Amino acid sequence: MKAFLTIVLKEIRLFLRSTGLVAAVLFFFLVDVYIVGNDIEIEPKNVKIGYVDYSDSPLANRILSKLHEPEFKPPIMFKSQKELTRAIYEKKIVAGIIFEADFERRYTRGLNTKIDLLLDSTAATQSLLTLNYLQKIILSLSERTPPVELKIHKLFNQNADTKKFMPLAELLSILTLFGVILSASVFVKEKEQGTWDIMLLTPVDSKVIIFAKTSSQVIILFLLTMISTGIDLFGIFDLPLNGSFLAYMGLTILFLYSIAGIGLFVAAVSNTIMEVAQWSVFLMMPIIFLSGAWTPIYSMNEYLQYLSYLSPLRYYIEGVESVLFRGTATADLWLYFAGMGAIGAILFGIGYKKIGRLF
């Protein structure tokens, strides 16, 4: 036990001494999470639209005036359809509305009329939003009270606030990347610097060495996660905590050990830090993309859906989402704990066996 603690403390001290790495890691966990949470706004806002009004009518103006902020920027006027199309082609605007010359005349005479709408469908969400708004506006023109009204409630994230979800997804992705890199390089460092053999000569059981080295990185990563959770998630982005924080910590530790298992495997197969970096990027991307962090799992390709059961991040992210947003009771989280425990045991087992052969 004493040997275990000594190794853990030594590795933590070594980590703290490499100031460049500490700075980079802190940057990722604090600043990067902030940047992503703050800058990525995939919800449609400030959509730029243009229009050509050949009818020059109050009705057209009335329709346009209802396309307002924050969803839309004030519509830009174009002189001809050609200019409007050009602007869409050059991606200056996402949607263009064309009112024909007889637009209002037909309407006041009680004839059916139409509005032409050109949409840049590479920005599908924004296009859809414009179309929906336009239809809603038209409906409100012809009826004093619309016969059907929706009372929409969005759950967990009342105003569908990206700012609450993105930083969480980013933090968990970063954790995955660094989990593999740090837990692998703690071994490979010794290989690269030639101190591996000295490590083998120490009168400490190889099991203890492996567990102590891994645990030291798990501790570092756990602390970083807690710091980032406190400052970025709860402090800056004001994420809710509807469940138990203890369950969050438990899930984090379990996840870190599963990832460390992958790190052990990487450590076994690489001889230089450069190979570690390659392997980590290579393994990290499927783990993240199969986790459902960026795309819900049931909307993936069928084969990928099965594969996603192998990603420890899947259990972690669903568990954390349940704890933070949904407020699921700790007892109901057993599925996530069990799934991650199983995957973690397998990954750690493989990694342990692989690196154990080198001792």
Partner 1 sequence: MRLGVIKAYMAKEFTDLKRSKMIFLVYLLPVMILILFGYGIRLEVKEARTTIIDMDSSKLSRELCDSFIHSKYFEAKIKNIDYREALEEIKRAKTDIVIIVPPSFERDIAKGLKGEIGVFIDASFPLRGQVMQSYVEGVAFDLAKKLSPQKRPTIMVNQRLLFNQSLRDENAILPGLIALALLVAPAILAALLIVKEKEKGTIFNFYSSPVTKYEFLTAKLTPAFLLHSINIFIAFLIATYIFEVPFRGSFLLFLIASELYVATAVGIGLLVSIVTKTQIAATVLSMLITIIPSFLYSGMLMPISAMEGGSFIEAHLFPVMYYSHILYDTFLIGEGLGSSKNIIYLVALAAYALILMIAGSYLLKKEL
Task: Write out the binding residues for partner 1, residues 127-166 only, by CB under 8 A.
Answer: 127-129, 131-132, 134-136, 138-139, 141-143, 145-158, 160-162, 164-165
The mark string for 244-283 relative to partner 1 (x by CB under 8 A, - otherwise) is ----------------------------xxxxxxx--xx-
Q: Output the smallest distance, CB 326 to partner 1, in A.
A: 5
Among candidates 349, 351, 6, 13, which has minimal Cα distance to 187? 351
- In single-letter form, the type of residue at position 248 comes to Y
The smaller minimum CB distance to partner 1, of residues 158 and 195, is found at: 158
**Does residue 318 bind partner 1 (CB under 8 A)?**
yes
Residue found under tokens 């992705």: 173
- Helices 312-321 and 162-193 pack at an angle, to 10 degrees, of 140
Within residues 20-59, the interface with partner 1 by CB under 8 A covers: 20-21, 24, 27-28, 32, 35-36, 39-48
Query: Rounded to the nearest whole angstrom, what is the least distance from the CB of residue 203 to partner 1 in the complex?
Result: 31
* Residue 72, SS3 per DSSP: strand
Q: Contact 137/66 with Cβ under 8 angstroms? A: yes
Side-chain-facing half-sphere of 133: CA atoms under 13 Å: 23
- Closest CA relative to residue 228, chosen from 23, 83, 3, 32: 32
The residues in 207-236 that bind partner 1, with binding defined as CB under 8 A, are none
Out of 3, 22, 88, 241, the residue judged to bind partner 1 by CB under 8 A:
88
The footprint of partner 1 on residues 185-204 (CB under 8 A) is 185
Given 102, 226, 234, 286, the residue binding partner 1 (CB under 8 A): 286
Q: Between the CA of residue 31 and those of 47, 164, 207, 231, 324, what are the distances in Å?
A: 28, 16, 37, 10, 21
Binding region for partner 1 (CB under 8 A) out of 3-11, 111-119, 195-203, 341-349:
111-119
